[in-house]
Amino acid sequence: MIQSVGVGVRILALCSGEKTDESARNSIVLSFGRHKGKRLSSVSNSYLSWMVANLPGDPWADLAQQHLSDRRSPLSSHWRWIESSLAGAQSLEEARAIQARIFANLPGAAEDAQVGNLLVQAMARLGGTKDARVAFARIKIKDAASWSAMIEGYSRNGQHRKAIDLYRRLLFQAEIEPNAAIFAAALEACGSLKMPRDGISVHARIAATGQELLKALQISILEMYGRLELGVSIRESTEDLDLGVENSVLNLFARCGGMERAWYFFRGMRERDAVSWNTMLWACAHRGLDRQALGLFREMDLEGVEANLFALRWIVRACSTSLAEECQGVYEWELDQAVANSPLEQ
């Protein structure tokens, strides 16, 4: 194992062009990865330049280029002071004074995303959302952290309408995918403003990006629906609600929000598919609600909806000795399915 990133770069520098042994090179790059690039700061400019020149398209070359750019920036030597000063500011006036010093002594600082993000966070934390918005507007190239800081700042200060408006602007104007912090702030704003359509739209976006399983976002989603009082009623103002989104909401309630909410939502759905039924079937069996699970299974059978094998396992497990007679239908259904799927029936 290479303990020093500098040594790793030296070894890598000995490999050239077509003579590079791919496995050796990958081992070196892997050793860099264990440090997540943090120790590249100890590597000299000459070696960083070699990586940029000889590893085209490699993520480590991009990281080396970033380090070189940061070192050339006049802001790099002042970064710790900027960060600690703004984090320690106790009043809006103090933060403004620090900002004035930064702008007076460091040309271009106002347009820098890292500095700008810190300014936005500090101003918003101290209640100065107007100052934060000015700092946000000055950032030349905004990243996800820039948008997150400003949207969170509005939400934290109770300016939920502005938070939602900026979230919409991000979706339509910026080529940046919202992160978890942005989604959480948008959900809080939708819940506070009693905006079910917008809230469900945010939830759908979260599900589409695969972030719905993040525990922090699950809590934010449930809190939003709680503030909407389960939509008093959500569907009354969202008649064109997509079934996939409804199933996503149902799944969240079934897993995290308690069965009462899940049942309420399930019974209120204008349309239910196999996913809807199997979600509730799994939830009942998983919580030991054996009779409810069996009742739901019978309803599914009458509706012509088939239980998937995953949900069916929970049902079979729910069939205790005391429910053996009631479970007979389940076993008969399983037998019918086994016969129907056997080679003799093909």
Residue 78 phi/psi, 5-degree rounding, is -105, 0
CB atoms within 10 A of CB 215: 8
DSSP state of 109: G
Supply the DSSP string of 200-234, one letter for each residue: HHHHHHHHHTT-TT-HHHHHHHHHHHHHTTTTTTG
- Spatial distance between the Cα atoms of 229 and 225, rounded to a whole number of angstroms: 6
Supply the DSSP string of 33-79, one letter for each residue: HHTTTGGGGGS-HHHHHHHHHHSTT-HHHHHHHHHHHHHHSTTGGGH
Please report the pLDDT score of residue 43 as a whole number. 53
- Spatial distance between the Cα atoms of 22 and 25, rounded to a whole number of angstroms: 5
DSSP state of 308: P
Q: Which amino acid is at 334?
A: E
Please report the pLDDT score of residue 332 as a whole number. 54
The list of the chain residues with pLDDT below 70 reads 1-52, 56-77, 174, 229-242, 256-257, 315, 318-346
Give the pLDDT confidence of 98-135 residue by residue, as tens digits.
999 988 888 788 888 889 999 999 999 999 999 999 99
The domain locations on the chain are 5-72, 282-346
Q: Quote the Cα angle for 20-24-28, to 5°.
A: 110
Please report the pLDDT score of residue 139 as a whole number. 93
Please report the pLDDT score of residue 69 as a whole number. 61
CB atoms within 10 A of CB 254: 23
Please report the pLDDT score of residue 105 as a whole number. 84
Give the pLDDT confidence of 286-314 residue by residue, as tens digits.
888 888 888 888 888 888 887 777 777 77
Please report the pLDDT score of residue 301 as a whole number. 81
Distances (CA, A) of 122 to 10, 84, 96, 116, 297: 42, 11, 10, 10, 55
Please report the pLDDT score of residue 35 as a whole number. 39
Please report the pLDDT score of residue 207 as a whole number. 84
| pTM over 0.85, yes/no | no
Backbone torsion region of residue 177, taken as left when φ is above 0, otherwise alpha when ψ lies between -120 and 50, otherwise beta: beta
Q: Work out the burial of residue 240: count CB atoms within 10 Å of its CB; fewer than 13 is exposed, 13-18 middle, 19 or more buried.
A: exposed
Which residue stretches of the chain are H helix?
5-14, 22-34, 45-54, 59-72, 79-88, 92-105, 113-125, 129-138, 144-156, 160-173, 180-192, 196-208, 215-227, 243-252, 259-268, 274-286, 290-303, 309-318, 328-340
